[in-house]
């Protein structure tokens, strides 16, 4: 018979499933000699591999059955308790361990989004969230930001349209690096409460702050505003940026009805998060992560400073960027009219890679923006990579 046209056989939602720009670019950046600032990858030299080797050997010697058998969807009890203890007024039965916060985003899309539902997102926002939500066919309402985060007037105009939830990254936002001010956090929680719109707080970079003190989570501000009780915020965070992303262990915390529904959705997705990996994560965090966290903060802050200095030295005028106080990313704007994808191609010729910014914009804008990750290259590579980027940018901007 005639060859099968699979495209015509896929479900309608499959047409909303496209490849992750970051993952595709990471593949292209595999070329020898390439310096890549693409993925938000932790520095591998900081993985506590030796301690993990000992801990996993001990787990397999002493608790092989629990580590290798099917386990509960909710997650490893001791780790649930540990996570609950990190957040105010939170019980273990409000915690679900997930296979990366990426799975948390997918499950949240699955339980909250119908075809055509309005979903409020920042502009720009984490493209992985858009990839997770897209198959459920939402209509995105984008909320403008300034350096302090979402602009309240823009947020209120969007909340009035009754979105299923607001997806917010208040702490060292991916991709913009922005830190939402306390005042804006309070405003967001108040307005969302007033309009009865749940908040999904993605706090992947909570611990990656370089100087300055931690600001309260939306989750805790919401608790305070309500004087305790179950709030309006589903909180996501992960062990990927502080321990190891390859373990795929993260967590969702929130009101019991939401967590219960997420558990049911997860049962149909992957039954449960890897048993051994959860037990290993618990062994690594039960005595605290302070030593690991201070190593990470010191290393990433230094790499950020080297990149910022090199950018000042090598990038042509007309290019602008932020000074992130934490996280892994520097967010750059080319002059209006310049095209970051065209620059990306010239940069590949110079053997340097980054992530063009348009895929971070749910409304398709952002053609002149790009994201650079500073976490996964040593200072010498960062200087050389930015020198190369400067050459590519000179070429690109001559044409504008």
In the complex with ligand N5F, the residue whose CB is nearer, 20 or 342, is 20
In the complex with ligand N5F, the residue whose CB is nearer, 136 or 167, is 167
Task: Give the one residue of 37, 76, 112, 126 binding ligand N5F; rule: CB under 6 A.
Answer: 126
**What is the enclosing helix (H) or strand (E) of 236?**
strand 233-238
Does 167 bind ligand N5F (CB under 6 A)? Our answer is no
Does 160 bind ligand N5F (CB under 6 A)? Our answer is no
Q: Which of residues 204-223 bind ligand N5F (CB under 6 A)?
A: 204
In the complex with ligand N5F, the residue whose CB is nearer, 262 or 397, is 262
Which stretch, 1-9, 19-27, 185-193, 383-391, contacts ligand N5F (CB under 6 A)? 19-27
Does 238 bind ligand N5F (CB under 6 A)? Our answer is yes
Residue 74: which of 251, 314, 254 has the closest Cα?
251
Q: Which of residues 328-387 bind ligand N5F (CB under 6 A)?
A: none
Does 174 bind ligand N5F (CB under 6 A)? Our answer is yes
**Dihedral through CA 72, CA 76, CA 78, CA 81, nearest 10?**
-80
Task: Give the one residue of 94, 240, 369, 375 binding ligand N5F; rule: CB under 6 A.
Answer: 240
Q: Classify burial at 79, counting beta carbons within 10 Å of its beta carbon; exposed 0-12, middle 13-18, buried 19 or more.
A: buried
Which stretch, 15-23, 82-90, 109-117, 206-214, contacts ligand N5F (CB under 6 A)? 15-23
Does 101 bind ligand N5F (CB under 6 A)? Our answer is yes
Rounded to the nearest 10 degrees, the angle between the axes of helix 379-398 and helix 290-314 is: 40
Task: Give the one residue of 22, 281, 296, 332 binding ligand N5F; rule: CB under 6 A.
Answer: 22
Q: Are 121 and 154 in contact (CB under 8 A)?
A: no
Cα gap 96→302, rounded to integer Å = 34
Q: What is the greatest pairwise CA distance in the chain? A: 67
- Residue the block writes with tokens 């939500």: 133
- Residue the block writes with tokens 């990471």: 26
Q: Classify burial at 381, counting beta carbons within 10 Å of its beta carbon; exposed 0-12, middle 13-18, buried 19 or more.
A: middle
Find the angle CA(322)-CA(325)-CA(328) to the nearest 5 degrees.
80
Q: Are 205 and 177 in contact (CB under 8 A)?
A: no
Q: Which of residues 248-277 bind ligand N5F (CB under 6 A)?
A: 250
Strands 139-146 and 149-150: antiparallel
Task: Give the one residue of 245, 357, 359, 385 binding ligand N5F; rule: CB under 6 A.
Answer: 245
Q: Are 163 and 118 in contact (CB under 8 A)?
A: yes
Q: Which residues contact 104 (CB under 8 A, 6 or more apart)?
A: 96, 98, 236, 250, 251, 252, 262
Minimum Å gap between C-beta 168 and ligand N5F is 10
**Which letter does DSSP use for residue 274 in this model?**
-
In the complex with ligand N5F, the residue whose CB is nearer, 174 or 369, is 174
Q: Are 369 and 319 in contact (CB under 8 A)?
A: no
Which stretch, 86-94, 96-104, 136-144, 385-393, contacts ligand N5F (CB under 6 A)? 96-104
Task: Give the one residue of 106, 201, 202, 222 binding ligand N5F; rule: CB under 6 A.
Answer: 202
Minimum Å gap between C-beta 319 and ligand N5F is 21
Does 176 bind ligand N5F (CB under 6 A)? Our answer is no
Task: Give the one residue of 17, 18, 23, 364 binding ligand N5F; rule: CB under 6 A.
Answer: 23
Does 170 bind ligand N5F (CB under 6 A)? Our answer is no
Would you call 6 helix, strand, or coil by DSSP?
Answer: helix
Task: Give the one residue of 29, 37, 40, 383 binding ligand N5F; rule: CB under 6 A.
Answer: 40
User: What residues line the site for ligand N5F (CB under 6 A)?
Assistant: 20, 22-23, 26, 39-40, 100-102, 126, 128, 169, 174, 202, 204, 238, 240, 245, 250
């Amino acid at each position: 018979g005639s060859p099968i046209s699979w495209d015509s056989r896929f479900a309608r939602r499959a047409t909303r499933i496209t490849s992750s720009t970051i993952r595709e670019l990471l593949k292209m950046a595999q070329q020898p000699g390439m310096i890549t600032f693409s993925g938000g990858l932790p520095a591998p030299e900081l993985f506590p591999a030796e301690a993990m080797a000992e801990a996993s050997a001990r787990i397999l010697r002493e608790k092989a059955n629990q580590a290798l058998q099917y386990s509960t969807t909710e997650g490893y009890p001791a780790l649930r308790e540990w996570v609950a203890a990190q957040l105010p007024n939170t019980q273990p039965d409000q915690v679900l361990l997930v296979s990366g916060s990426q799975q948390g985003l997918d499950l949240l899309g699955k339980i909250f989004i119908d075809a055509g539902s309005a979903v409020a997102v920042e502009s720009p926002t984490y493209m992985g969230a858009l990839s997770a939500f897209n198959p459920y066919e939402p209509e995105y309402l984008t909320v403008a930001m300034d350096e302090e985060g979402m602009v309240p007037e823009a947020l209120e105009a969007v909340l009035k349209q009754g979105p299923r939830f607001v997806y917010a990254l208040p702490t060292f936002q991916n991709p913009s690096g922005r830190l939402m001010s306390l005042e804006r956090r309070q405003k967001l929680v108040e307005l969302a409460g007033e309009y009865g719109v749940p908040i999904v707080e993605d706090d992947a970079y909570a611990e990656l702050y370089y100087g300055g003190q931690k600001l309260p989570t939306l989750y805790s501000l919401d608790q305070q505003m309500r004087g305790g009780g179950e709030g309006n915020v589903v909180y996501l965070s992960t062990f990927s940026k502080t321990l190891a992303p390859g373990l795929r262990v993260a967590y969702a915390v929130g009101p019991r009805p939401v967590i219960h529904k997420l558990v049911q959705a997860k049962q149909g997705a992957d039954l449960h998060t890897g048993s051994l990996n959860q037990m290993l994560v618990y062994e690594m965090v039960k005595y605290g992560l302070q030593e690991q966290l201070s190593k990470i903060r010191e290393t990433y802050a230094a790499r950020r400073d080297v990149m910022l200095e090199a950018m000042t030295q090598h990038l042509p005028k007309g290019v602008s960027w932020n000074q992130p106080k934490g996280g892994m990313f520097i967010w750059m704007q080319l002059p209006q009219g310049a095209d970051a994808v065209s620059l990306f191609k010239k940069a590949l010729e110079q053997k340097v890679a980054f992530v063009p910014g348009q895929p971070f914009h749910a409304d398709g804008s952002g053609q002149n923006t790009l994201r650079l990750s500073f976490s996964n290259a040593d200072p010498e590579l960062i200087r050389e990579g930015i020198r190369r980027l400067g050459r590519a940018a000179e070429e690109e901007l001559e044409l504008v």
